[in-house]
Amino acid sequence: MQSVSDQVSILDYFNIVCEGENGKIESNCKACGTRIQAKRTVTSNFVTHLKRKHQAMYDEFVRKKDVKREAMQMCTGPPSGRVISQSGAGMNKFDYSDPRQSLISEAIAKMIIRDLQPAQIVENEGFRELLQLLEPRYIPVPCHYIQQQLLPAYVTQVQLAAKQALKGAESCSVTLDLWSSVGHNTSVGFLGVTCHFINTDWHIRSALLACLPLPDHSNTQQVLSEFDEISESHGISGKVFRVVADLSPCENRSAFRLPGFNLVRNGEEDEEDGSDEESSAGEAKDAISSKENNKSLDQCLGRSRIDCFARLLAQCVKEGVCGSPQISIPLNKGAHLYNYIIATVAPEKLVQVFGSSTSTNWQRPSSTYKWNAQLKILRQMVESMDFLEDIVDRHDLVLSNLEKAELRELVEVLEPFEEASDMVQGDKHVSISLALPCVLGLRKHLAEVVTHQCSGIVMALSQALDRRLAGILEDPLYVTATTLDPQFKLSWSSDSDWHKQVLLEEVGKHTRPLSPLEHHSEAQPSPSKRCKLFSFIKQRPTTQAKTVEQELSTYLHEEPTDEDPLQYWKRKSIDFPLLSQVAKKVFTVPATTTSVDQIFNMVSKTLRPEQCRLLPKNLDTLIYLKANYRILWS
C-alpha cells in the first residue's frame, strides 16, 4: 500500500474520470489513455502501470518521491520517532513524523520564500515566542535545515519539474532580466532566465530556469555564457525562438513613477533617489552602458533578440510625462492630499473613492511602485475631488481649478497607455499579438485628443512612441503574431496585400513541410474497421495537403472571433497544420515583463543595500523559488 504522500505524486500522471462511494476511482493514464481502476487508498495499480509501460515517467516519479521524502525529513528534523515532553507544562511535543509538525514547517518555508525572508528568522526569539503561542507542541526547525538542506531540496524539485515540462516543448522563447544595486562597499547583481513555452495541450507556461549572482552586469559575454549553459542543462538549446533581453538593470529602468506623485507606503513617504543632478548623471551613464550592451547582444543573438514591449511602453510614458516638468507641481500637491487623507480619514469613509475591497489594495506598497498603479489612484481622486475636499480640514491641500484641470487632462491622455499596459500583463495568455494593435490605437488617440494644459505631454508622447515603438508596425514577428490572432487577423491593416506577403515569408521560414503520411494521420482520424453492414456508406475522400497560401486564404476568409488564440489553434491545428506550427512558436514570445522582473523591482524597493538593509545570504535561491512558487505549491 502506498503512503498518502505518494498518492498525491502518482495521481499526477493520471486523469481521474470518476470516483465511487466506496473510494474506488477510475482514471486514464495521461501518456497512453489506459483505463485503470483502484481504491484511492491503494495506488499500487498506478505505480505498476507506470513501471511496466512508461519507464521514464516511473523513474521521474521515484525521483520526485525521494525528493519529497528528503524534504520532509529535513523539515521535521532527524527521524527519531520519539516524543519530547515540554518541561513544566505537562504538554507533549509533536512527534517528528506527525503531519501537523510537517505542515507547520512547510508553512514556515513558504513564508520565507514568498516574503524573501532570511532563514535566520526561525532563530529569532520573537518568532519562536510566536510559534510557542500559536502551537506549543511544535518543535522549531533549525536555521541550517532550511538554509542548507530544505531550500536546496525544493530547488531540485522545481528543476526536475521544469526539465520534464520542457521535454515536450517544440520551441520556446526566453527572457533575460538583470538586477543590480550598488551600496556602501557592496555590489549586488542577479541574472534571471525565464523560459516561455506552449505545452502539448496548448497552454502557455513560464518557468524561471535560473537566478544567478552576476556582480558585473555590464559583461555581455558573461551573460550570454551563463545563458548558453542554462539552455544546455535544461535541454532547450536549438529550441529558442526569440530572446527578450534588455541589459539595463531593472534598478535603473523600472522605477518610473509619476514625477512629484510621492505616495506614502507603510507610513514612509517615497523618497527621490538622490538629487536631480545625480539622478540625471546616473541615468545618462546607464543609458550609454545599456546601449553598448544591447548593441553587443544584437551582434551575438542577431534577429532572435527583441526588446520587451511593456518596458518600451513604460519608457514612452516616462519621456512623455517628463517632457512637461510643470506637471509635477499639481501631482505633488495631489500626493500630499492623498497622504493626508489616508493618514487621517477612516478607511470605511474612503470606500466610495477607492473601491470596496476589504484588503484596501490602494493602501498597499505595491500600489505606489509603478506609474500605471499611481494613475489609477490619481483618476479615483480626480473623479471624487469634491468629496475629498469636503472631508479635508486643511485649505492648503485644496487644489485650484487650474491644477484640477491639469490632472484631469493628464489622466485622459495617459488612460489608453494604462489600458495597453494592463492588457499585456500576465503570463497565462498570449500577449505578443496585442502589441501592434496597441501602438496603432495609441497613435490614433494622441492624434485626436484635445488638450489645453497638457499639449507638451501629448507632443512628447507622440515623439517617444515614434522613436521607440514605430518599428513594431513593420516587424515581421509582430505582423505575424497579430494576424494569427483570430480576433484581429488583417482587420487592422491598411495594406493587407503587403502584410499578407510578409506573413507568407515569415511562415515559410518557420515551418517544415508535412510528409503525406504525417498529413494523412493528422487530417484523418483513426478509421474504424469497415464491415459489410456499413458498405453502403461512402468512404471519406483523402484530403490533399494544402499549401501555405491555401491555408492562409481559408483562414483569412473566416470571420474574426474572440476565442482564445491558443484554444483556437488547438482546435484548428488539423485544418491549418502549417499555420498552427508558426502560431505555436510566435505565441511563446511575451510582450510583458516576467515574474522575476517584478520580484527584482520589489527587492529594489525593500532590500536596498545602499540603505544598509540586510540582504538574505541565499537571496538568489529565494528569488528562484518565489518565481516558481506555483510549481511547488500550485
> Burial letters for 412-426: b for 16+ Cβ neighbours within 10 Å, e otherwise?
bbbbbbbebbebbee
Whether residues 60 and 173 share a domain: the answer is: no
pLDDT value of position 541: 55
Could you identify the residue written with the cell 513593420? 474
Q: How many CB atoms lie within 10 A of CB 376?
A: 19
pLDDT band at 148 (very low <50, low <70, confident <90, very high): confident
pLDDT in tens, 559-603: 999 999 999 999 999 999 999 999 999 999 999 888 888 888 777
pLDDT value of position 213: 87
| 3-class DSSP string for 169-192 | CCCEEEEEEEEEEEECCEEEEEEE
Per the CB < 8 A criterion, the answer to whether 317 and 270 are in contact is no
Cα 565 off chain centre by: 18
| Mean per-residue pLDDT, 116-135 | 92
pLDDT value of position 73: 52
pLDDT band at 49 (very low <50, low <70, confident <90, very high): confident
pLDDT value of position 543: 54
- Judged by average pLDDT, the poorest of 95-99, 411-415, 418-422 is 95-99
pLDDT value of position 209: 95
- 598 part of a folded domain: no
> Is the pLDDT at 74 greater than 60, yes or no?
no
pLDDT value of position 197: 94
Q: Are strands 240-245 and 172-183 parallel, antiparallel or unpaired?
A: parallel
pLDDT in tens, 535-567: 777 665 555 567 899 999 999 999 999 999 999
> Is the pLDDT at 626 greater than 80, yes or no?
yes
pLDDT band at 412 (very low <50, low <70, confident <90, very high): very high
Whether residues 147 and 224 share a domain: the answer is: yes
pLDDT value of position 597: 85
Whether residues 146 and 40 share a domain: the answer is: no
pLDDT value of position 46: 80
| Mean per-residue pLDDT, 450-463 | 92
pLDDT in tens, 320-339: 998 888 888 999 998 898 88
pLDDT value of position 617: 77
The overall average pLDDT reported for the chain is 80
pLDDT in tens, 481-519: 999 999 999 999 999 999 999 999 988 888 766 555 445
> Is the pLDDT at 524 greater than 70, yes or no?
no
pLDDT value of position 571: 94
Whether residues 184 and 241 share a domain: the answer is: yes
- 333 part of a folded domain: no
- 24 part of a folded domain: yes
pLDDT value of position 392: 83
Whether residues 131 and 188 share a domain: the answer is: yes
Distance in angstroms (rounded) separating the CA atoms of residues 331 and 319: 16
Tell me the whole-structure pTM to 2 decimals: 0.76
| Mean per-residue pLDDT, 113-121 | 90
- 578 part of a folded domain: no
pLDDT band at 373 (very low <50, low <70, confident <90, very high): confident
- 344 part of a folded domain: no
Distance in angstroms (rounded) separating the CA atoms of residues 398 and 337: 8
Distance in angstroms (rounded) separating the CA atoms of residues 415 and 317: 11
What Cα–Cα distance (Å) separates residue 221 from each residue in 210, 241, 250, 600? 17, 20, 19, 22
> Is the pLDDT at 631 greater than 80, yes or no?
yes
Q: Are strands 204-213 and 186-198 parallel, antiparallel or unpaired?
A: antiparallel
Name the most confidently modeled range: 2-6, 9-13, 422-426: 422-426
Whether residues 101 and 199 share a domain: the answer is: yes
**Structural domain of residue 204, as residue ranges?**
93-246+603-633
Whether residues 179 and 125 share a domain: the answer is: yes
pLDDT value of position 37: 80
Whether residues 106 and 205 share a domain: the answer is: yes
| Mean per-residue pLDDT, 195-201 | 93
Percent share of the chain, pLDDT over 70? 75
Per the CB < 8 A criterion, the answer to whether 569 and 580 are in contact is yes
- 450 part of a folded domain: no
Q: Which residue has the higher pLDDT, 165 or 50?
A: 165
Whether residues 61 and 100 share a domain: the answer is: no
> Is the pLDDT at 466 greater than 90, yes or no?
yes
Per the CB < 8 A criterion, the answer to whether 122 and 142 are in contact is yes
- 200 part of a folded domain: yes
- Name the residue type at position 388: L
Whether residues 137 and 224 share a domain: the answer is: yes
pLDDT value of position 23: 64
Whether residues 224 and 155 share a domain: the answer is: yes
pLDDT value of position 579: 94
Percent share of the chain, pLDDT over 90? 38
pLDDT in tens, 254-290: 456 777 677 654 444 444 444 344 444 444 444 445 5
pLDDT value of position 78: 47
Whether residues 159 and 210 share a domain: the answer is: yes
> Is the pLDDT at 382 greater than 70, yes or no?
yes
pLDDT value of position 187: 65
Q: Which residue has the higher pLDDT, 33 or 227?
A: 227
Into how many domains does the chain fold? 2
> Is the pLDDT at 8 greater than 60, yes or no?
no
- 37 part of a folded domain: yes
Distance in angstroms (rounded) separating the CA atoms of residues 48 and 50: 5
Per the CB < 8 A criterion, the answer to whether 488 and 482 are in contact is yes
Helix residue ranges per DSSP H, 95-219: 99-114, 125-134, 143-144, 151-167
Q: Which residue has the higher pLDDT, 359 or 188?
A: 188
Name the most confidently modeled range: 105-119, 281-295, 386-400: 105-119
pLDDT in tens, 80-96: 444 444 443 557 888 87
